[in-house]
Amino acid sequence: MTNYDAIVVGAGHNGLTNAAYLARAGLKVLVLERMPWIGGAAVSREIEKGWMYSNCSYVCSLLRPELFRDLELARHGLQVVPYGGGVTITRTGDVLGNYTDEDVQRREFARHNPRDGDAYHRYSTDVIRQCKFIRPLLLRTPPDPTSFKPRDIRELIYLGREFTKFGEQFIYDTLRFYTMSIADFLGEYFESDLIKAHLSGSGIIGSAMGVYSPGTAYVLLHHYMGDVDGSIGAWGFARGGMGAVSNAIASAYKSFGGEIVTDAPVERVIVRNGRVAGVATANGNEYRAKIVVSNLDPKRTFTKLFDEGDLNPEFVKRARNFKIRGSSGKLNIALDGLPEFPALGRDNPLRFGDIHFLDSLEKMERAYDDWKNGTWSKEPYLDLLIPSMTDPTMTPPGKHFMSVFVQYVPPKIHGRDWTDQDRDGFKNTVLDQIGRYSPNFKSLIRHVEVRTPRELEDEVGLTEGNIFQGELTMDQLLFNRPFPGYAQYRGPVKGFYMCGSGTHPGGGVMAAPGANAAREILLDLKRPSLVPEGWQDD
Amino acid sequence: MRHKDHFKTAVYQTPFHPRTSFDLTPMTKHRITGKDALPFLNRLITRDIAKIKPGRVGYCVWCDDNGQVIDDGTVFHLREGDYRLCSQERQLDWLTRSAHGFDVKIVEDTHEVAALALQGPTSCAVLKAIGCTGAEKLKPFDIAYFPFADGELMVSRTGFTGDLGYELWIDPARALELWDALFDKGGNHGIRPMGTHALEVARIEAGFIQAQVDFLPADQAIRIDRSRSPFELDLGRLVDFSKPNFNGRRALLEERRRGSRYRLVRLDIEGNKPARSAYIYDSKRNVVGTVTSAEWSPSAKSNIALASMHMPWGRPGDELWAEIYYQRELKWSRVMARCRVVEGAFFDPPRRRATPAADF
Amino acid sequence: MTDRNRIIIVGAGHNGLVCAAYLARARREVLVLEASDRVGGAAITREFAPGFRVSACAHICYQLDAGISRELKLGAHGLKTAHANLRTVALATEGDHLVLHGGRLEAGLLPDKDRAALADYHDRMLRFARVLGKQHNRRPPRIGGGGRSELIAAAMLGLDIRRLGRDPMREFMRIAGINIFDVLEETFETPLLKGALALDAVLGTNLGPRSNNSVLTMLHRLSGQATGVTGGLSLPAGGMGAVSEALAAAARAGGATVRTGSPVASITLEGDRVSGVELESGEKLAAGTVISNADPARTLLQLVGARHLETGFVHRIRNFRSKGMAAKLHLALDGLPGFARLAAQRAGDRLVIAPDPVYIDRAFDHAKYGQCSPDPALEITIPSIHDRTLAPAGRHVLSAIVQYAPFDPRASTDAARAEFLERTLGLLERYAPGLRRQVVASELLLPADIEREFRITGGHWHHGELALDQILMLRPVPGAAQYAMPVDGLYLCGAGCHPGGGVMGAAGRNAAHAVLGGERAA
């Protein structure tokens, strides 16, 4: 039995980030990981020989540059390469492309609707303003609005000042933006249904809501607020797959003297006299530490790692009711060549980005109806990428890796567990949809890794397979995330902390929750904080 | 040759300023027709459009609800009730939004009209040489139609240079022919293609402002306080409170009561180093403004600039200093140069307004 | 000069009448102009079949502000209650109905856990609703502009929330922005109970139980009960029209003139100010102040006209979400319908058909795509049980709100109406066997019909959705949420303003105060 200053349960990117900062502050830190590999949902695995998959998360934009720089992730091997392109292909073979050049983008929109071409500018201006508002809040601990502590009051005042700095109209716009549906929000700018459908995807990815559901406009922001080198809303690939992010953070962590043990599933958190004393793993080992940090989602953390008797019943109820609904699935496909999309023609640069098959908002919403009715969408929303076109390290030469994110996929089928038959049905639904737009696609398939919420829960540990470790709805954002009164990374037991995406500011491979939690832990230890604050932008 | 593009191309001709040739930025054109074309424009634009009679052109600005300038441009009253609105920025969304409740048809026809600017002291002579007989009778801001190559050439006595000049409007199919005719017949008058830098110099000499340079279009401003009202751009003359409601009216009335935040001034700066992006200081070294455009003026032999000043600075006679950084052979230097507030244009030749227009 | 001092109120809906009554009390010269030939707007009683009268739009009184009722002495002006404290009966096709009264189960079977949770849920929600209720009588603050007094007003709102105490405040902030479905799921087990409570949240809205914001709409509904005059759901004697008649009487008693049959064609301007109105008859009436009880879009875009307003403002008004989703069913019956296993004395209560939240959600799914729900959810009253003036002896009137019927051309055709009526009657028949044979006459008002008859754009009872993005300082649109519109002398006083609809009267009174306050400031 070994004593540590702090134990982090789960080697996801947030757990590793948290551990890295604690180790850097001089603590003796241990990270325990259930699987034989590290990374959680930011992982690259070679399932088919020669093919590296980004098995879960697949693109990188939200990773906070403050942390990237501070942990010297470039030195530890991380390179994020922005990708261009992105396109929506319709049933009729029409396309709507993404272009980085503003004027080309305008003309592309104008081709579908002349007015919408001009409206795009107004739309981006308004969304960028929202990004500017939210970004400085990502690397801050949310204040408790019920508290009278000086720090909370100071943070509330800070929030208030940020909120008002763009003027009165912005305040109203923001109140509306955070509570509207993505369809209504887009409807205030655009006329073309295709353009609205094209832009609405970001409002529902990973969320158990439809494009008509109030609250989805904010989810859009959650996907826009990232950047690659200052280009707001841009996305990139981590060279070598998303595992490269976790590996780089792990490398930084180890360089500070940190220790990682894999194949060590933590079974419970040991609580003595009302404070944590360490953890016990399934294979019978006990590790001692006065600080235990969970990278697991809040529901799993409090319903699986704790004896119920150690927690307040109200709190247990809150944890059980935590909204962490699975709504997404994924197919990782090894291809023997590059699939053709006749709508795009050969060598179209749009293929380098996200490919969607959409026609209308109604089609998006009907996909959600299927989810509500307990089955995967029969016409799902796909976010399809071929990262190997940008990153040659993913596959053997001439071969390709296709990542297909699928919305909506329920955690249970009509109330019962997934069967292998369901899984095949789901897989075929997705492959058939792609096949309709790419005639040679199916003949190129070499291997398919199917990930329904069942696999995401069993392998990655995400309850119900929710990719954000909890819905991004008003009841679970900012000072409500994960639970009201517990948004400052501290758990209900002394010495226990949370650092996963289930805490502020949420999921998306930002690494911000892990860093913020480290800041709070160091504060409690009365040590100087090494965690960078967000960069200020005027 | 790029002139096949249907973009507006300026042909600036002057014996004094030989220039290299470049194309101009495309200009957005909208055709506005329908029963409510006039009331629509009058609600959109701050000046009284009813005063722009058929065959006339007017310079104008339009504002958002807060009285902040979205863009400036020109309204052409082509024929009774038939208008063309030209602007630098894309406006179809704003125009369509503004059209609610009006019986009006708005078509963006940027690509259906080829436009060419012919500017400079001999511009009228060139026009006459290609067959626009009587072109000299056009008063500033007049429109006239001339037969050209079995079609019609529209000529307006307008421009962005502050000199005598015309803009020529034609079916794109005949644009090439027009260009060739101009250069064929205009050779003797020293016609030359003109580039953006020449235009930049000319418009600053004239004291004309430009979107994205001297002001940020209000609908593109992310931060507050970045946009400007017409008063703050020295365009108060374009705001007509005696006409009925227009966008920004209430806010501008309020601004008139309360006072503006900024003012735009023309500065004559000592020395010969253009004061691009310079801070302006008062005598106590407080920053009281910034330069938005600056050039050496070959016409006025002055170091000129447009600057946005915090109120109340920028009155004629104020003591102001510009902090100028300049580079000579890769070495940067800094000077503090005294500035003088100038009223009116830096270069305003009488030929600009003289009617009939002289040949040179 | 008398003209300049005159105040014209466009529309004699309940809010217009309340506003008139308050201004008349303050000795202003008030003229109310009503398009139809009776007062009341959407709070009226009218004959829909010979001898059968019904509250044609709103049919239960539950939010009428207690202060207004007292100050305007509505009792003295003839307002009587036919029946107060209606119970809510969640109808079941099989098994027992649930009879609910506030947080109490009066009949039917619930597991102990649900029974306890119901009491707790009701108390908790009532507490939160009171926070909203407190805002009803206040002018919504402007935030980020408008100076110190506005800041204080905004702080008051924050203080009200804070006064809940730490844990309730956290709970309030947690649920205020989410959906009723999730809240009910984590609180109760019994589907029938959840269904009835979910219906409370989505009645009259564009939301399904799973749509976020639906907790807020439920709290808004409850806020009336928390602060309203009857302390519960009640039926006014003579139908909802009686409320309007009493308000009109109060306004007239104060000296206001109410002219019916005078549809206003436009609100006229002189320079930047209103100068009066022009009637459809061509008659012009001068006034220094015009207050519109009509909905925001009708007032601003039709009566004033977009050209007198600014582009951004017009855009916001046009985006005020105001599409109705509820239809109104009126049945003339030749006898009392027999609801299976329902005690006769309960038939006069508020009966709801909403077997579970998923049922309502499915009903909503169709409406999203422009179809009426094949299996709708209903709120039913049979007011003739308590009020014999509504139907001939021995006969009855059934009034029901039927959801969902979208304001959509596809769902507004005669064929769609006939089909929806058929489906609804079929559904009623399942709960009250034999009802179809009792039907003497029927009327089904779709949102498009409500728009036509009551002149409400989109046929939405609340003039516009009551959602987080359309309440308080965002109602109807930011920058014009304080009753005064951008045109000098023009005010709104209808449900399109804070605090919204529901035959509450608060918007009318707040608007009156804003007018009087504006006079003082000027």
The per-residue pLDDT for range C336-357, each reduced to its tens digit, is 999 999 988 899 999 999 999 9
**What's the rounded Cα separation, in Å, for the pair A395 and A389?**
10
- Tell me what pLDDT residue C226 has: 61
B interface mutation test: which of A107, A111, A116, A118 has the most B CBs within 10 A?
A118
C173, C207, C365: residue with CB nearest A480: C173
Higher per-residue pLDDT: C250 or B113: C250
pLDDT range class, residue C150, cuts 50, 70, 90: confident
- Are C214 and C201 spatial neighbours (Cβ–Cβ below 8 Å)? yes
C interface mutation test: which of A122, A129, A133, A176 has the most C CBs within 10 A?
A176
Domain spanning C2-49+68-82+240-321+459-521, CATH architecture: 3-Layer(bba) Sandwich (3.50)
CB pairs under 8 A between A and C: 100
Please state the rounded mean pLDDT for residues B115-140. Answer: 93
Fill in the amino acid letter for C216: L
B108 touches chain A (CB under 8 A): yes
Per-residue model confidence as pLDDT tens digits over C467-510:
888 998 899 998 899 999 999 999 999 999 999 888 889 999 99
DSSP A223-235: HHS-EETTEET--
Per-residue model confidence as pLDDT tens digits over A388-431:
999 999 999 999 999 999 999 999 999 999 999 999 999 999 99
Higher per-residue pLDDT: C503 or B334: B334
Domain ranges for chain C, please list them.
2-49+68-82+240-321+459-521, 117-225
In 3D space, the residue among B335, B347, B343, B294 whose CA is nearest the CA of residue B315 turns out to be: B343
Q: Residue A179 pLDDT more than 70?
A: yes
Give partners of B (≥3 CB pairs < 8 A): A, C
CB contact under 8 A, C301 and B100: yes
Please state the rounded mean pLDDT for residues B219-241. Answer: 95
Q: Residue B11 pLDDT more than 50?
A: no
Q: Residue A230 pLDDT more than 70?
A: no
Q: Residue C437 pLDDT more than 90?
A: yes
pLDDT above 90 as % of chain C: 80
**What's the rounded Cα separation, in Å, for the pair C478 and C313?**
9
Which residue in B has a C-alpha nearest to residue C306's C-alpha?
B101
**What's the rounded Cα separation, in Å, for the pair C11 and C251?**
13
- Tell me what pLDDT residue A100 has: 86
Q: Residue A310 pLDDT more than 70?
A: yes
CB contact under 8 A, B64 and C301: no
Q: CA dist A471 to A131, A216, A297, A376, Å?
A: 20, 11, 11, 18
Q: CA dist A383 to A87, A405, A437, B140, Å?
A: 10, 5, 14, 58
**What's the rounded Cα separation, in Å, for the pair B142 and B58?**
9
In 3D space, the residue among C336, C330, C327, C342 whose CA is nearest the CA of residue C376 turns out to be: C327
Per-residue model confidence as pLDDT tens digits over A461-470:
999 999 999 9
C310 touches chain A (CB under 8 A): no
Domain ranges for chain B, please list them.
2-204, 261-345
Which alpha helices (DSSP H) does C60-111 contain, by range?
66-71
Higher per-residue pLDDT: B281 or B112: B281
Per-residue model confidence as pLDDT tens digits over A476-489:
999 999 999 999 99
C267 touches chain B (CB under 8 A): no
In 3D space, the residue among B74, B40, B63, B24 whose CA is nearest the CA of residue B233 turns out to be: B63
B314 touches chain C (CB under 8 A): no
In 3D space, the residue among A269, A347, A334, A333 whose CA is nearest the CA of residue A301 turns out to be: A269
Q: Give B94's contacts in chain A (Cβ within 8 Å).
A: 118
pLDDT range class, residue A1, cuts 50, 70, 90: low
- Are C106 and C113 spatial neighbours (Cβ–Cβ below 8 Å)? no
CB contact under 8 A, A119 and B220: no
Q: Residue A510 pLDDT more than 60?
A: yes
Name the minimum distance, in Å, from the CA of A212 to any CA of chain B. Answer: 24
Residues in contact with B237: Cβ distance below 8 Å, sequence separation at least 6, in sequence order: none
Both tokens of A311, joined, read: 């927690």
Domain spanning B261-345, CATH architecture: Beta Barrel (2.40)
Fill in the amino acid letter for B257: R
**Chain centroid to CA B360:** 23
Give partners of C (≥3 CB pairs < 8 A): A, B
Please state the rounded mean pLDDT for residues A171-181. Answer: 90
In 3D space, the residue among A257, A141, A137 whose CA is nearest the CA of residue A516 turns out to be: A141
Q: Residue B141 pLDDT more than 60?
A: yes
DSSP C333-359: ESS----TT--GGGTTSEEEE---HHH
- Are A264 and A283 spatial neighbours (Cβ–Cβ below 8 Å)? yes
Please state the rounded mean pLDDT for residues A344-358. Answer: 94
A interface mutation test: which of B68, B222, B226 has the most A CBs within 10 A?
B222
B2-204 is classed CATH 3.30.1360.120: yes
Name the minimum distance, in Å, from the CA of A538 to any CA of chain C. Answer: 18
Give A 433-492 residues with CB within 8 A of chain C: 473-475, 479-480, 484-485
Q: Residue B25 pLDDT more than 70?
A: no
Please state the rounded mean pLDDT for residues B293-303. Answer: 94
Name the minimum distance, in Å, from the CA of B224 to any CA of chain C. Answer: 12
In 3D space, the residue among C52, C63, C362 whose CA is nearest the CA of residue C220 turns out to be: C63
Q: CA dist B336 to A413, B293, B341, Å?
A: 75, 17, 16
Residues in contact with B258: Cβ distance below 8 Å, sequence separation at least 6, in sequence order: none
**What's the rounded Cα separation, in Å, for the pair C301 and C287?**
20
pLDDT range class, residue A231, cuts 50, 70, 90: low
Strands of the B28-33 sheet, one edge to the other: B56-63, B69-79, B82-87, B28-33, B105-108
C interface mutation test: which of B62, B245, B246, B258 has the most C CBs within 10 A?
B245
DSSP B250-289: HHHHHHHHH--SEEEEEEEESSSS--TT-EEE-TTS-EEE
Both tokens of A346, joined, read: 């050969």
Q: Give A214's contacts in chain C (Cβ within 8 Å).
A: 207, 211-213, 467-469
CB contact under 8 A, B93 and A132: no
- Tell me what pLDDT residue C228 has: 62
- Tell me what pLDDT residue A95 has: 97
Q: CA dist A154 to A158, A362, B129, Å?
A: 6, 45, 75
b/e C84-108 (16+ beta carbons within 10 angstroms → b): eebbbbbbbeeeebbbbbbbebeeb
Q: Residue B173 pLDDT more than 70?
A: yes
Domains in chain A: ranges and CATH? 2-80+240-322+464-524 (3.50.50.60)
Please state the rounded mean pLDDT for residues B123-145. Answer: 95
- Are C99 and C105 spatial neighbours (Cβ–Cβ below 8 Å)? yes
Which alpha helices (DSSP H) does A225-359 contain, by range?
243-255, 298-304, 313-320
Which residue in C has a C-alpha nearest to residue A165's C-alpha?
C144
pLDDT range class, residue B190, cuts 50, 70, 90: confident
**What's the rounded Cα separation, in Å, for the pair B26 and B117?**
12
pLDDT range class, residue C156, cuts 50, 70, 90: confident
- Tell me what pLDDT residue B14 has: 39
Q: Residue C216 pLDDT more than 90?
A: yes
pLDDT range class, residue A332, cuts 50, 70, 90: very high
Name the minimum distance, in Å, from the CA of B93 to any CA of chain A. Answer: 5
Q: CA dist A438 to A351, A403, C384, C482, Å?
A: 12, 15, 65, 56
